[in-house]
């Protein structure tokens, strides 16, 4: 099945009103602190938040830097970000309406999984200045042992997701798009699966299918995700990877 931009808009429009409560990581200040520690934003920095959604990542930078620009394709999500932004642009990440080298830092949390790749990351690299950084943050499987089950859970939870990642995939994505990978940090997010799947854009049948994957999960999956079960409810320890790359000062031959 091909997933269209319209499908993505529809999914996030349905979730917009309650998005900020739909995962514990959305407003997890510890995860935010890892990003701030990694990026060390300065007062003169210009920051672009790609797939800004309701502006939860943008807000981390507001007041710390000179400019925070948000870009997203779903107006219902992005309008909530507007009060926290210097500028909001409704546009696709694959065709960013910005000049080359316009930003010091580009961040994208839980966005690349919905995008044309590597085109969208190449755009992020294009608009960051030489020496500036691109940081991609995404949930990933821990490794080969949990990937099939975890990707199935992610697919069931969000039917418009197009890409699923192992930790090394994010670093590779940055490299392919023309960045020099710099560092990758890991962060474990604890989710009550019933709360996480109750985001308003999937039906009860799908939520039950997610519970069934947990009920039938392999020992490897249960161990890697440190799954806890109580009265049929599951708690999962999900892995975030924060991968950062630097745009070379003298690009040799553009995207590799
Ligand atoms: C899971 S939300 C993440 C929002 C925010 N980054 C955060 O961490 O809370 C994904 C967002 O990606 C946006 N999105 C999906 N595909 C996109 C694309 N091709 N270009 C720009 N935004 C896109 C959706 O509209 C949605 O707001």
Q: What pLDDT shows up at residue 255?
A: 54
Q: What pLDDT shows up at residue 81?
A: 98
What does the DSSP 8-state code read for residue 57?
T
Q: What pLDDT shows up at residue 254?
A: 52
**Gap from CA of 92 to ligand 1 centroid (Å):** 9
Give the C-alpha distances (Å, rounded to integers) separating 180 from 62, 153, 201, 251. Answer: 27, 32, 37, 10
Which residues does ligand 1 sit against, CB inside 6 Å? Answer: 8, 12, 26, 51-53, 56-57, 72-74, 77, 92-94, 109-111, 114-115
Please report, for the chain, the start and end positions of each structural domain, with discontinuous segments joined by +: 5-140+158-190+239-246
Interatomic CA distance for residues 144 and 202, integer angstroms: 27
Nearest atom in ligand 1 to 78's CA:
27
Q: What pLDDT shows up at residue 251?
A: 53
Nearest atom in ligand 1 to 9's CA:
25
Residue whose CB lies within 8 A of the most ligand 1 atoms, among 73, 120, 122, for a mutation test: 73
Nearest atom in ligand 1 to 53's CA:
27
**Gap from CA of 218 to ligand 1 centroid (Å):** 31
The residue whose C-alpha atom lies closest to atom 1 belonging to ligand 1 is 110
Tokens for 1? Answer: 């099945």
What does the DSSP 8-state code read for residue 212?
H
Three-state SS at 148: helix
Q: What pLDDT shows up at residue 235?
A: 98
Three-state SS at 147: helix
Q: Which residues face 207 on adjacent strands? A: none
Q: Is 51 left (phi over 0), alpha (psi -120 to 50) or beta?
A: left
How would CATH label the architecture of 5-140+158-190+239-246? 3-Layer(aba) Sandwich (3.40)
**Gap from CA of 109 to ligand 1 centroid (Å):** 8
- Write the CB contacts of 152 (distance below 8 Å, at least 6 apart in sequence): 213
**Gap from CA of 178 to ligand 1 centroid (Å):** 22
**Gap from CA of 252 to ligand 1 centroid (Å):** 31
The residue whose C-alpha atom lies closest to atom 15 belonging to ligand 1 is 114
Tokens for 201? Answer: 């854009």
Question: How large is the C-alpha radius of gyration of the chain?
Answer: 18
pLDDT averaged per 10 residues, the chain (length 256): 89 92 94 98 98 98 98 97 98 98 98 98 98 98 98 96 97 98 97 94 95 98 98 96 94 52
**Gap from CA of 53 to ligand 1 centroid (Å):** 5
**Gap from CA of 209 to ligand 1 centroid (Å):** 25
**Gap from CA of 91 to ligand 1 centroid (Å):** 11
Interatomic CA distance for residues 221 and 227, integer angstroms: 8
């Amino acid at each position: 099945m091909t997933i269209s931009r319209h499908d993505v808009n529809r999914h996030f429009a349905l979730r917009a009103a309650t998005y900020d409560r739909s995962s514990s990581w959305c407003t997890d200040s510890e995860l935010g602190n890892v990003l701030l520690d990694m990026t060390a934003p300065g007062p003169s920095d210009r920051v672009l938040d790609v797939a800004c959604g309701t502006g939860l990542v943008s807000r981390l930078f507001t007041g710390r830097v000179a400019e925070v620009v948000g870009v997203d394709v779903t107006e219902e999500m992005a309008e909530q970000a507007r009060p926290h932004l210097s500028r909001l642009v409704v546009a696709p990440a694959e065709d960013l309406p910005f000049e080359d080298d316009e930003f010091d830092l580009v961040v994208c949390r839980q966005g690349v999984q919905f995008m044309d790749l590597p085109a969208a990351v190449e755009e992020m690299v294009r608009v960051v200045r030489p020496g500036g950084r691109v940081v991609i943050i995404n949930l990933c499987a821990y490794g080969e042992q949990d990937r099939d089950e975890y990707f199935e859970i992610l697919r069931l939870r969000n039917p418009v997701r197009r890409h699923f990642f192992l930790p090394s995939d994010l670093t590779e994505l940055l490299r392919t798009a023309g960045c020099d990978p710099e560092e990758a940090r890991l962060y474990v997010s604890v989710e009550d699966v019933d709360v996480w799947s109750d985001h308003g854009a999937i039906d009860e049948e799908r939520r039950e299918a997610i519970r069934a994957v947990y009920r039938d999960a392999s020992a490897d999956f249960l161990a890697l995700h440190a799954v806890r079960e109580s009265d049929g409810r599951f708690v999962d320890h999900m892995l975030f990877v924060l991968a950062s790359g630097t745009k070379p000062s003298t690009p040799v031959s553009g995207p590799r």
